[in-house]
Each structure stands twice: as structure tokens, then as C-alpha cells.
């Protein structure tokens, strides 16, 4: 029997949603769809982590599911988009390198989300 974050008494723990996407940009219509999707991500509270990878902190897995469903309804007609949900602890263990030097991880948000 597997246990998910929803099955635990700690299901309220915060998570991060990563949106990873490869969208075509060959035509003007493709570029317009790309720009629209990127704008939708930003309007929903995502921030750019790196090119074609956006991140959003969510107060709970349930809140993350809402965000994923909302963004899933706004996908462009072509291309590939993946949403990955990771715990705050896993996010804190991301190793970031710029050239050969390791950069410190971004701090977790200190403000609790209300919805």
C-alpha cells in the first residue's frame, strides 16, 4: 500500500509546481501561442526559474492540483507541457550552478498563502 501526501496528516505541507515546456516557435501563430501561455503562467503566480521552466509555490497539494488544472485548460494546441509537483524540502535540495560556482538555493516563501 503506497502513501501519498494527501493520505498523511501532514497533507497541508507546502509544495512547488514546476511547469516544464517545449513549445514550437517557427511561425507567428506559434510564437503568439507561446507568449500567451507564458503570460498565463505569470498571471497565475508562476515565476521563471530558467528558460521554459517556471515555478510556483503552493500552500498544499490541493492548491497545486487547482493550479495544474487551470494551466492545463490554457495549453497551446501544439507542443509539450509537463507539470511536476515536489515538496518544499525537495525544492530546497536543488543544486544550482552558474558556470563552475554553486549558487545558494532560493529561500522558501515566508508568507502563507490563503488560497
What pLDDT shows up at residue 1? 41
Q: Are 55 and 84 in contact (CB under 8 A)?
A: no
Q: What CATH code is carried by the domain that includes residue 80?
A: 3.30.70.240
Q: What is the dihedral of CA 81, 86, 91, 95, to 10 degrees?
A: -60
The total domain count for the chain is: 1
Q: What is the dihedral of CA 71, 73, 77, 81, to 10 degrees?
A: 30
- Flag whether 21 is in a domain: yes
This prediction's pTM: 0.76
- Flag whether 75 is in a domain: yes
Over residues 19-77, the pLDDT tens digits come to 999 999 999 999 999 999 999 999 999 999 999 999 999 999 999 999 999 999 999 99
- Flag whether 106 is in a domain: no
Alpha helices in 1-115, H assignment, sequence order: 28-43, 61-72, 88-92
Q: What is the span of the domain harbouring residue 78?
A: 5-89
- Flag whether 109 is in a domain: no
Amino acid at each position: 500500500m503506497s502513501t501519498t501526501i494527501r493520505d498523511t496528516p501532514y497533507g497541508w505541507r507546502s509544495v512547488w509546481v514546476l511547469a516544464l515546456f517545449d513549445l514550437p516557435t517557427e511561425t507567428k501563430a506559434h510564437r503568439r501561442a507561446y507568449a500567451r501561455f507564458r503570460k498565463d503562467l505569470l498571471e497565475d503566480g508562476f515565476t521563471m526559474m530558467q528558460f521554459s521552466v517556471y515555478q510556483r509555490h503552493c500552500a498544499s497539494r490541493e492548491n497545486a492540483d487547482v493550479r495544474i488544472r487551470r494551466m492545463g485548460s490554457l495549453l497551446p494546441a501544439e507542443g509539450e507541457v509537463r507539470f511536476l509537483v515536489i515538496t518544499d524540502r525537495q525544492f530546497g535540495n536543488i543544486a544550482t550552478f552558474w558556470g563552475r560556482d554553486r549558487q545558494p538555493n532560493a529561500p522558501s516563501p515566508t508568507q502563507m498563502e490563503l488560497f
